[in-house]
Amino acid sequence: MKKFKKKLVAGNWKMNKTLADAQVLAAEILRDLADFTEVEVVLCPPFTALKAVGEIISNSVIKLGAQNMHWEAGGAFTGEVSPGMLRDLYCHYVILGHSERRAHCGETDETVNRKVKAALAANLTPIVCVGETLAQREEERTRDVVHGQVTQSLAGLGDDLARIVVAYEPVWAIGTGRTATPEQAQEVHAFVRELLGAAGGAETAAAVRILYGGSVKPANAAELFAQPDIDGGLIGGASLEARSFVEIVRGAA
Ligand code: PEP
């Protein structure tokens, strides 16, 4: 029997929004969702807006997340941000291993694994991204790729495996307007849950939320979120406008 879990919808604002624009967007989202508790909502603005957005949503049902962090606690790592610095700004979540960072910033399963462990140690919930490219899907390597990413990025977590969130984001669907069909997404989500079960047992697998990401829009959100193994979404483009993000959140209820 499926255990009840609150769905989670996170907005990944990527490298968008000035401070002023971020404040406006956060305030608009809060205005529309202040009393909405059916879905857990997370906003992930760029580092430069974390403090200001955090102040706007403090003491509300909406939580704050970052888009990346380093695994070290501090030191000579120019341009990086530590887990403690994110906690200091009241972040609850951190996106790790996003495909854009894997493609453009040299992130590997090994560095993602270090970050996941550092996030958990700092009491941050990692949203760990996995997903295949179009070429890998066409070569029918989706399962192999996702298997490698899940097992290596999440290696050695022990009981902490139950504390993470996974986001399945097929790279070919990110920012392209091309969404996985609910069946395609469900198939991979069920596989990810199977892998989590093999690593941590059935109870852990059932507890972990597996989000879908990749061109989620108000028009396709409800159908995706209705799939048995889709526990919410990681939203890029459609999270940059309050109206579409709020509609997606409501679609998850
Ligand atoms: C993302 O980058 O996490 C994402 C899902 O982007 P989009 O919704 O724009 O495809």
For the chain, the first-to-last Cα distance in angstroms comes to 19
User: pLDDT tens for residues 185-201?
Assistant: 999 999 999 999 999 99
- State the Cα–Cα distance between residues 76 and 83, nearest whole angstrom: 15
Catalytic annotation, pick one of 40, 132, 169, 189: 169
Question: What pLDDT is stored for residue 155 in this prediction?
Answer: 98
Q: What per-residue string of b and e applies to 167-195 under the rule 16 or more CB within 10 Å gives b? A: bbbbbbbbeeeebbebeebbebbebbbeb
Q: Quick one: what percent of the chain has pLDDT higher than 90?
A: 96
**Closest Cα to atom 1 of ligand 1:** 236
175 lines ligand 1 (CB under 6 A): yes
Of the candidates 138, 130, 68, 123, which has an alpha carbon nearest to the alpha carbon of residue 92? Answer: 123
- State the Cα–Cα distance between residues 94 and 63, nearest whole angstrom: 11
Catalytic annotation, pick one of 98, 100, 132, 189: 98
Ligand 1 centroid to Cα of residue 244, in Å, is 13
**Closest Cα to atom 4 of ligand 1:** 236
216 lines ligand 1 (CB under 6 A): yes
User: pLDDT tens for residues 105-117?
Assistant: 999 999 999 999 9
φ, ψ at 225 (rounded to 5°) = -70, -15
Of the candidates 97, 189, 201, 95, which has an alpha carbon nearest to the alpha carbon of residue 149? Answer: 97
98 an active-site residue?
Answer: yes
Tell the burial category of 4 from Cβ atoms under 10 Å away from its Cβ (0-12, 13-18, 19+). Answer: exposed
Over residues 71-91, the mean pLDDT reads: 98
For 140-172, give the DSSP string.
Answer: T-HHHHHHHHHHHHTTT-GGGGGG-EEEE--GG
Q: How far is CA 199 from CA 19, 97, 122, 152, in A?
A: 41, 19, 22, 11
Question: What pLDDT is stored for residue 5 in this prediction?
Answer: 87
70 an active-site residue?
Answer: no
Q: How far is CA 92 from CA 40, 89, 102, 109, 186, in A?
A: 12, 9, 22, 22, 27
Over residues 116-138, the mean pLDDT reads: 97
User: pLDDT tens for residues 36-78?
Assistant: 999 999 999 999 999 999 999 999 999 999 999 999 999 999 9
Question: What pLDDT is stored for residue 69 in this prediction?
Answer: 98
Helix (H) or strand (E) run with residue 18 in it: none
Pocket test for ligand 1, best of 43, 102, 235, 239 (most atoms within 8 A of CB): 235
Is it the case that residue 22 has pLDDT exceeding 90? yes
Q: What is the mean pLDDT of the chain?
A: 97
Q: Which atom of ligand 1 is nearest to the CA of 12?
A: 3
> Structure tokens of 116?
């996941």
214 lines ligand 1 (CB under 6 A): yes
Q: Which atom of ligand 1 is nearest to the CA of 169?
A: 5
Ligand 1 centroid to Cα of residue 183, in Å, is 19
- State the Cα–Cα distance between residues 86 and 69, nearest whole angstrom: 8
User: pLDDT tens for residues 159-178?
Assistant: 999 999 999 999 999 989 89
Tell the burial category of 105 from Cβ atoms under 10 Å away from its Cβ (0-12, 13-18, 19+). Answer: exposed
Is it the case that residue 4 has pLDDT exceeding 90? no
Is it the case that residue 2 has pLDDT exceeding 60? no
Question: What pLDDT is stored for residue 3 in this prediction?
Answer: 55
